[in-house]
Structure 1
Amino acid sequence: MTELENREDLLKRDILLLATAGVSVLNGMHFSPYFDPVFILLKPFIAGTLLSTPLVLFYLTSIFTSLMTLLIAGIPAALYERYRGLEDSNASSLGIWLACTLLLAIPSFLAMAGA
């Protein structure tokens, strides 16, 4: 693999990772349909700690929802990598991860659009 092909592959992977992270962050925003149920379920676990202030709980819910989106959407990509016997992630497995993240974020995009 030449130096130019290696750079192109790295750029593709970086763009796919940034897009996946961006979609995940949008899915964790307050307008997401997943936000309120996660807020309600997370509140008893945070109660009685220093993190129980409303603003911190709001941010923790957003971060938790975003991270769970990344974890759940990464399962099909990990299964693909395992099936193919890959040592490292390539553009196709990162594309699967992005596609699954987009599927999980469809309700958030619809809520963001006001539909």
Structure 2
Amino acid sequence: MTWKTEWYRTVFPDEKRFTLDGPDGFNYYFHDLRKKEHHLTRRHSREEGIMVWGAISYYGTFEIQFVSCKMNAIRYKELLQMSFPYFSNILKTLHWTFQQDNAPIHTARLVKTKILH
């Protein structure tokens, strides 16, 4: 809330999994206590879906990347290396911040090393 010019030089990336048959991993839901409870079946496999990765900044959105395999730190770093030219092109010479959440693949030492290696 106190940011003034920081918005101009910050990139916010994230990934999202989409499935055709409902959300992944939810065991509980809210229901009307006056009505009969519906029992939900829980899926054991997470293979029926797709994961996408993208990023936004003050200057717009970045190209969405479709992730076809299980993401780990090595694959995440490869994805960043593949997307890095797009970031550099849009943000040009700004000293920008790549603002990730604390997901384990984002905080891995391998990912925190310089992307251009």
TM-score, with structure 1 as normaliser: 0.29
| Greater relative CO (CA pairs within 8 A, separation 6+) | 1
Higher helix share: 1
TM-score, with structure 2 as normaliser: 0.28
Higher strand share: 2
